[in-house]
Amino acid sequence: MSQTPSEPDFVGTVGRTVAESTPHWPAEPGQRRDRPDVVVVVLDDVGFGQLGCYGAPIDTPHVDALAARGVRFTNFHATAMCSPTRASLLTGRNHHSVGVGYLADFDTGFPGYRGRVTPRAATLAEVLREAGYGTYAVGKWHLAPPGDLSSAGPFRHWPTGRGFDRYYGFLWGEDDQYAPELWEDQGNVSASRGPGYHLSEDLVDHAIGYLGDHLSATPDRPFFLYLAFGACHAPHQAPAGHIERYRGAFDTGWDAARQAQLRRQIDAGLFPAGTALPPSNPDVPSWSELDPDEQRLCARMQEVFAGFTSHTDDQIGRLVAFLREQGRLDDTLLVLLSDNGASGEGGRLGSANEYRYFLGQPDERQDTLDAFDALGGPDAHNHYPSGWAQAGNTPFRYYKKHTYAGGIRVPFIVHRPACDREPGRIRHDFRHVTDVVPTILAAAGVEPPAVHQGVPQIPVHGRDMRPFADPQPRDEDRTQYFEMGGNRALWQDGWKAVTNHVPGRPYDLDRWELYDVRADPTETDDRSLEQPDRLARMIERWWEDAERYGVLPLDDRAQSRAYTGDPHRRERAVFRLLPGARQLTSSAGPDFAARSFTVEAHVHDVDTSTSGTLLSYGRRPAGFVLYLRGGQLVFDYNVAGRHTVVAGGPVAGSRSLGVEIADEADGATAALRVDGVEVARSALPSTFPAGFGCLTTQVGTSTPSPVSAQLAPPAVFTGRLRHVEVRLGPQATSAAGEHYAAAVRAE
């Protein structure tokens, strides 16, 4: 006999005794001699021209060295936002086809916009793990629904649920570099972070740690590391020394910076002589229009961003040095890219608190000037002005979210010295983020599965890019659609049709432009009137691909997608939250936005010395917190850095401590109650503004950064806290409209 129920493919023999049997051991896949190690490094919101080897006046020697020993691409395209690019990068399929047509924060009820990757698209980690690889993810994820982002899960869309053996990082779209909310595998990381902490350093420490464990235990087994930095997404934060090295470097402003940058790009061979610099984006003032204080502020914000970028480069250098020391670098297939173009979300003068953008709050010039000395440090959550984003996307137009080149044409470097015949080569052929998976799988000798875990798979859409150093660019006939929030484009055989959509405007009124991007890479010479037939065919093809790949229905809503009736948001009116409950998103926990609500903490053993957090919502840049201090009950209401503080008492001997927020015709009120008796009342500017659901609720603690400057993390409640009851009133029907208006303003 040769088969058993547990191993139907067993090829030995099984007799009545061992002496009468022949053993068999199946071969283990993925031996080192057969397959390269793979490292994918993802930068966030880094524009085409923000790395030194792409013409930036920013020092990135470690990335530049990878380009010098590898291949640099000038015509590589991502999607226009982060979650969609990551979905395509990890699956090799177009983002709408796998369910991530927009951010992972929203499920609008349509297949292309689920906000999570369908099981019909196995990730690169899932495929490589089955081929014998050790798989490790470190950093930003942003591919799981908000309702799943708690310690209770479910975890099927977390990194460990999509093929990674280990994970360390943050699950949202951005995080504070000094005080992030972190997870390891499926558990929250609550360790305190002392002076000198920085998230980018922490991420690389863990990447090296995971690889060290792997190489110590299984040195003959290949590995796949996915390292997704929070850098250089806002908040722009870096150690002071990295920022100070750029003091005065940008005093001439963004107009001069664009011109100098294009000259460097032409000299480096990234673009041909005569490449035109497009006109300034309509939202960017000329540098000369700014007054001296504004120029000083804006220059400082770019100094911070440059320091942030150079600091990130240093961390990449640490990882590369580790691989070199272990003798693994030369045959490691290392890919580095950005997820989209630079972000113009900072507006005219930038912001000292990016949450004002998320919450639809105005940025006041004086507020930002007052924060000058804090920029880049732990007390600011800053974002640079759109003028520097425009310069960072040189020589292209527009930004992240747009389907012009500034939103989707990004730096891309491939490094594998053992296979690069001509190191330092520059490639100009069209490539797309969906090409990364088939390229890696081909290098590893692995076929994408037709069925994965019993689920039939969507065919991979990308193409193998090898050989990387082919002296003849392989710009074969190809068509690729783009869409983000109603902005659309189509690349076809060297031509590009593109339209910039205004939210709320009928799509039929959008004006399409046409560019011969081989001759006009910066999209400055609109050929739509000269070639109307070509444009008409390309528009028709765009609609065909939109239907083919799940783009429809078109949706130009931004934050208001959260108010679409998604049942996964688990709308509840009453929550009973236990001590220690934390990281509850507005889908998994209470959604306090745009409504009245009450918070009531049930306590014991409270005296004049009792202190700490009862309930906290959010963190330093925005939110609110109910806490005890000095024998009083305190409520700090923080709307993107603008605080209203209410205090009352005494609280000694009390059993119930709470706050009631009431929506009023001309704003809102906060009433503090001790054992049901009102002890203080104050006017508030409004109920808490509607915005992205990235603020989380915690009970009995306030970490990683407190909403109130009067609290030091973890600000644990020192009395006995039984539970906290939250009761939510009806959400204002205008909430979706507020979101929609904020999206229109942001455009």
Secondary structure of residue 166 in the 3-state scheme: strand
- Nearest 10 degrees: Cα torsion 435, 439, 445, 447: 0
Q: List b or e across 8-31, with b for residues whose CB sees 16 or more CB atoms inside 10 angstroms.
A: eeeeeebeeeeeeeeeeeeeeebe
Q: Is 62 a catalytic residue?
A: no
Q: Are 621 and 355 in contact (CB under 8 A)?
A: yes
Q: Are 116 and 100 in contact (CB under 8 A)?
A: yes
SS3 per-residue string spanning 704-727 = CCCCCCCCCCCCCCCCEEEEEEEE
Phi first, then psi, for residue 661 (nearest 5°) are: -105, 120
In the set 62, 95, 96, 142, the catalytic residue is: 142
What is the C-alpha to C-alpha distance for residues 88 and 434, in angstroms, rounded to an integer?
A: 5
- From 358, 396, 385, select the one nearest 746 (Cα to Cα): 358
Q: Is 53 a catalytic residue?
A: no
Q: Do the strands 622-629 and 612-619 form a parallel or antiparallel pair, or are they unpaired?
A: antiparallel
Q: Is 369 left (phi over 0), alpha (psi -120 to 50) or beta?
A: alpha
Q: What is the CA radius of gyration of the chain?
A: 27
What is the C-alpha to C-alpha distance for residues 682 and 673, in angstroms, rounded to an integer?
A: 12
What is the C-alpha to C-alpha distance for residues 254 and 277, in angstroms, rounded to an integer?
A: 13
- From 197, 201, 200, 165, select the one nearest 184 (Cα to Cα): 165
Q: Are 609 and 705 in contact (CB under 8 A)?
A: no
**What is the CB neighbour count within 10 angstroms for residue 497?**
26
Distances (CA, A) of 416 to 37, 41, 73, 389, 470: 10, 14, 14, 31, 14
H-run or E-run covering 482: strand 479-484
The strand pairing partners of 471, in sequence order, are: none
In the set 82, 232, 298, 694, the catalytic residue is: 82
What is the C-alpha to C-alpha distance for residues 398 and 724, in angstroms, rounded to an integer?
A: 47
Just list the catalytic residues.
82, 142
